[in-house]
Amino acid sequence: MTEDELLVIEVENFSKYVETRKKDSGLAIERFAEMVNVSKGEISKIINQRKKSVSLHSFCNIAINSGDTIENVRDAVYTHRKLDLINNYEIERRTNFGEFMRSEIEGENTFEHILGKTGIEKQRLIDIYFNTGAPEPYEFLLIEKAVGKEPGEMMKAYVEKYPVKKGND
């Protein structure tokens, strides 16, 4: 499946997940939006599948603030994606200085290790590390796994540290 085809499935799956969480809460869309700390407009766009991808902030906030777990929403949304780490990967060669920095300063969770373990394309990882790209929830889940964290552990910290700016912020 292409990346675009996977995104269509994930948007549909996330829509169904959010609609189910809203119905299970018994709340109107306004109250549900307040409860999960996601705007009413965003909830409406998710449910009506008017999104191009699954937002990391919406993914995390809806799961956690509706009383669910990251694992449950992961399993509901990413039904067609393998979220396994790669075991046999090669690290890109560095200069002597680069090798020194990796071994003495950076530790074992370097860009190259995450690139190798997750299988995320290099340009995509460059974009989310250094450019204007934002990680998709599945990419965040793979990175968490690659660095030995529990599902959602880093995601929650990231969403809290860098919340979505609302209209007047």
**For position 32, which CATH number holds?**
1.10.260.40
**Per-residue confidence band for 102, with pLDDT thresholds at 50, 70 and 90:** confident
Residue 168 confidence (pLDDT) above 80: no
Domain, as residue range, for 132? 96-153
The pLDDT of residue 169 is 43
Please report whether residue 100 resides in a domain: yes
Cα-Cα-Cα-Cα dihedral sign, residues 12, 15, 19, 21:
positive
Whether residues 110 and 68 fall in one domain: no
- Mark which of 47, 77, 107 sits at the end of a domain: 77
- Higher-confidence residue of 144 and 169: namely 144
State which of 50, 77, 104 marks the end of a domain.
77
Could you give the number of structural domains in the chain? 2
At residue 161, the pLDDT reads 93
Point out the domain boundary residue: 23, 47, 77. Answer: 77
Q: Specify the pTM.
A: 0.86
Same domain for 67 and 118, yes or no, is no
> Is residue 42 assigned to a domain?
yes
Q: Read off the pLDDT of each residue in 99-119 and give the average, rounded to a whole number.
A: 89
Contacts of 123 (CB under 8 A, 6+ apart): none
**Mean pLDDT over residues 71-99, rounded?**
93
User: Which percentage of the chain shows pLDDT scores above 70?
Assistant: 98
Note the residue count of the chain: 169
Average pLDDT of span 106-121: 92
Q: Pick from 50, 74, 48: which is nearest to 60 by CA?
A: 74
